[in-house]
């Protein structure tokens, strides 16, 4: 990270620019005697900058704290306090100060770079990479700093050993069983079409559940440009009625190869289970792989193929193969805003052709940081699903669906408890189907505490 050190020097030089190389601090004019001086805030700042430029951090620290009471110098106080903390090994304090600046103004690229370096030194590689990536979008960066960012991100990718994201909370839900809102369905008996009322258990049911999720991964370099990969993701929601409890997990393991500094390919074996109520609904075993390419410092593309065999003890008509192909594009469009979009193609080839389908769709999203410490995200998708064969009891024609979804999240990392920050999310989904039994609407709120390592 020699160039990372160069970035630090550039940032320090920018922050302390008003100081002349040979400027003498007031404290040096006091020799073997007690000095008293009246300083304006600007003069005090000048004295602090001289001491910091000379790396006399212990002498500068009490003067920096004096700046905390000057509202018009809040930025300078936070930056200098963070910089001194970083240089003296108090990394949590440094990260706190740099984040406080970005809460008020996410466009402070130099501060974001210092935060990225601090997070990397703390071992928070994923968070550091995110900050470096956002900083790279600033078109006013000097070329040498832009090169330093690219180098730092390459180092992070090659050495990042693990990631861990946690959240937990409660979720009011309008449709915990993902069922239809229809009161009745039409059943075909030969030439007769007979409407039948649905029981309450077959219709949409609302409720509030408590949930927890975990997303984790490890990446271990084994030599050259090859790394071993391991991932574990799990989610559980518990309701007052245990028949609707939902638990799922996925394990994956494989390898990633960096073909060059901007192109990476990976392949993993994968296994997954889903339990609904007290019953194992599906068990999957398969492979997933893909590639990721950096188009520029601010954009990248990805391609992923996922193929799995599904076994369903609940209903063996759902035994078979499921596959999906996903293409995505992601770009930083502002210093703290990221947009993404993509297309996908899915194929379910089950034992029962009436349950087998092809689905084609699009996804889009935007998210990033706003002033006052807020993080926001918006996203959505729509797709068309065509089934292979009809369900004769309901229709003589194969089922066709339109599927829509929207989601929004708001969080604030300026407020934290043991590293956990509050988030609120809402998701909405709708399925319009030619078979009313499968048409549904669902809205879910999520109130959570989340932590990202």
- Report the pLDDT value the prediction gives residue 24, as an integer from 0 to 100: 52
Nearest of 100, 157, 106, 141 to residue 294 by alpha carbon: 157
Using CA atoms of 107, 113, 114, 119 in order, give the dihedral in degrees to the nearest 10: 110
pLDDT at 10 over 60: no
Written as six digits, the tokens of 374 are 């807020």
Q: Residue 389: CB partners within 8 Å, gap ≥ 6?
A: 353, 354, 356, 398
Buried b / exposed e across 183-216, counting CB within 10 Å, b at 16+? Answer: eebbeeeeeeeeeeebeeeebbbebebebebebe
pLDDT at 247 over 90: yes
Q: What is the largest CA-CA distance in the chain?
A: 110
Nearest of 107, 151, 104 to residue 129 by alpha carbon: 151
Question: Cα–Cα distance between 327 and 323 in angstroms, integer?
Answer: 14
In the block, which residue shows the tokens 């970005």?
Answer: 102
Written as six digits, the tokens of 137 are 């979008």
8 A C-beta contact, residue 153 and residue 137: no
- Report the pLDDT value the prediction gives residue 128, as an integer from 0 to 100: 84
- Report the pLDDT value the prediction gives residue 285, as an integer from 0 to 100: 98
pLDDT at 32 over 50: no
Q: Other CB atoms closer than 10 Å to residue 93's CB: what's the count?
A: 16
Per-residue DSSP letters for 135-204? HTT-TT--HHHHHHHHHHHHHHHHH--EEEEEEEEEEEES-TT--B--SEEEEEETTEEEEEEPPGGGB-
Q: What is the arithmetic mean of pLDDT over 258-277? A: 93
pLDDT digits (tens, 9 = 90+) for 371-398: 777 889 999 999 999 999 999 989 889 9
Most confident of the ranges 21-25, 143-147, 374-378, 426-430: 426-430
Mean pLDDT for the chain overall = 85
8 A C-beta contact, residue 216 and residue 233: yes
pLDDT band, very low/low/confident/very high, at 33 (cuts 50, 70, 90)? low
Residue 121: DSSP 8-state: H
Residue 138: DSSP 8-state: -
pLDDT at 185 over 90: no
Tell me the residue ranges of DSSP E strands in 355-416: 357-369, 374-387, 400-412
Q: Other CB atoms closer than 10 Å to residue 357's CB: what's the count?
A: 20
Phi, psi of 419 (to 5 degrees): 90, -10
Helical H segments across 136-228, by residue range:
143-159
**Which one is predicted more confidently, 309 or 242?**
309
**Which one is predicted more confidently, 310 or 74?**
310
Q: Could you give the percent of the chain with pLDDT greater than 90?
A: 43
Question: Cα–Cα distance between 395 and 2 in angstroms, integer?
Answer: 69
pLDDT at 321 over 90: yes
- Report the pLDDT value the prediction gives residue 20, as an integer from 0 to 100: 43
8 A C-beta contact, residue 229 and residue 266: yes
- Report the pLDDT value the prediction gives residue 46, as an integer from 0 to 100: 82
- Report the pLDDT value the prediction gives residue 329, as an integer from 0 to 100: 95
Radius of gyration of the chain (CA): 28
Q: What is the arithmetic mean of pLDDT over 244-265? A: 93
Lowest model confidence (mean pLDDT) among 22-26, 327-331, 421-425 = 22-26
- Report the pLDDT value the prediction gives residue 308, as an integer from 0 to 100: 98
For 9-31, the three-class secondary structure string (H helix, E strand, C coil) is HHHHHHHCCCCCCCCCCHHHHCC
In the block, which residue shows the tokens 């594009």?
Answer: 329
- Report the pLDDT value the prediction gives residue 252, as an integer from 0 to 100: 97
Note if the pTM is more than 0.85.
no
Q: 10: buried, middle or exposed (CB in 10 Å: 19+, 13-18, 0-12)?
A: middle
All structural domains of the chain, each given as residue ranges with its CATH number in brackets, are: 2-159 (1.25.40.10), 162-452 (2.40.160.40)
- Report the pLDDT value the prediction gives residue 448, as an integer from 0 to 100: 95
Hey, what long-range contacts does 39-48 have (CB within 8 A, 24 or more apart)?
41/67, 41/70, 41/72, 41/73, 44/70, 45/73, 45/76, 46/18, 46/19, 48/80
Question: Cα–Cα distance between 48 and 61 in angstroms, integer?
Answer: 8
8 A C-beta contact, residue 175 and residue 205: yes
Give, in order, the Cα–Cα distances in Å from 83 to each of 94, 115, 276: 6, 10, 51
8 A C-beta contact, residue 63 and residue 51: yes
In the block, which residue shows the tokens 């390919």?
Answer: 265
78: left (phi over 0), alpha (psi -120 to 50) or beta: alpha
**Torsion over CA: 89, 91, 97, 102 (sign):** positive
pLDDT band, very low/low/confident/very high, at 1 (cuts 50, 70, 90)? very low
pLDDT at 28 over 70: no
């Amino acid at each position: 990270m020699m160039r990372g050190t160069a970035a630090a020097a550039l940032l320090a030089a920018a922050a302390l620019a008003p100081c002349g190389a040979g400027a003498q601090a007031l404290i040096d004019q006091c020799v073997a005697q007690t000095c008293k001086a009246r300083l304006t805030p600007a003069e005090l700042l000048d004295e602090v900058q001289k001491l910091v430029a000379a790396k006399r951090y212990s002498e500068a620290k009490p003067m920096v704290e004096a700046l905390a009471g000057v509202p018009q110098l809040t930025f300078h106080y936070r930056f200098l306090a963070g910089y001194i903390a970083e240089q003296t090994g108090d990394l949590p304090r440094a990260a706190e100060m740099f984040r406080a600046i970005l809460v008020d103004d996410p466009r402070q690229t130099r501060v974001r770079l210092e935060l990225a370096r601090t997070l990397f030194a703390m071992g928070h590689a994923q968070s550091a990479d995110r900050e470096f990536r956002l900083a790279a979008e600033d078109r006013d960066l000097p070329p040498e700093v832009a090169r330093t960012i690219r180098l730092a991100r390459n180092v992070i990718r090659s050495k990042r050993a693990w990631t861990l994201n946690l959240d937990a909370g409660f979720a009011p839900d309008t449709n915990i069983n993902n069922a239809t809102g229809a009161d009745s369905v039409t059943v075909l008996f030969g030439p007769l079409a007979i409407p039948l009322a649905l029981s309450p258990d077959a219709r949409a049911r609302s409720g509030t559940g408590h949930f927890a999720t975990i997303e984790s991964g490890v990446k271990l370099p084994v030599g050259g440009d090859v790394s071993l990969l391991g991932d574990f993701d799990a989610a559980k929601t518990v309701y007052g009625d245990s028949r609707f409890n939902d638990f799922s997990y996925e394990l994956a393991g494989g390898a990633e190869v960096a073909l060059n500094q901007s192109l990476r390919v990976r392949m993993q074996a994968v296994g997954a289970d889903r339990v609904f109520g007290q019953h194992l609904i599906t068990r999957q075993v398969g492979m997933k792989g893909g590639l990721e390419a950096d188009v520029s410092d601010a954009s990248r593309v990805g391609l992923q193929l996922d193929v799995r065999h599904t076994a369903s003890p609940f209903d063996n008509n759902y035994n078979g193969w499921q596959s999906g192909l996903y293409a995505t594009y992601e770009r930083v469009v502002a210093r703290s805003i990221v947009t993404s979009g993509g297309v996908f193609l899915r194929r379910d080839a089950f034992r029962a052709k009436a349950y087998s389908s092809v689905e084609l769709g699009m996804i889009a999203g935007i998210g990033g940081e706003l002033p006052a410490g807020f993080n926001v995200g918006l996203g959505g998708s729509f797709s068309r699903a065509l089934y292979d064969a009809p369900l004769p009891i309901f229709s003589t024609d194969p089922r066709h669906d339109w599927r829509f979804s929207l989601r929004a999240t708001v969080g604030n990392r300026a407020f934290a408890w043991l590293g956990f920050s509050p988030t609120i999310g809402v998701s909405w989904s709708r399925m319009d189907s030619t078979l009313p039994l499968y048409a549904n609407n669902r809205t879910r709120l999520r109130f959570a505490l989340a932590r990202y390592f």
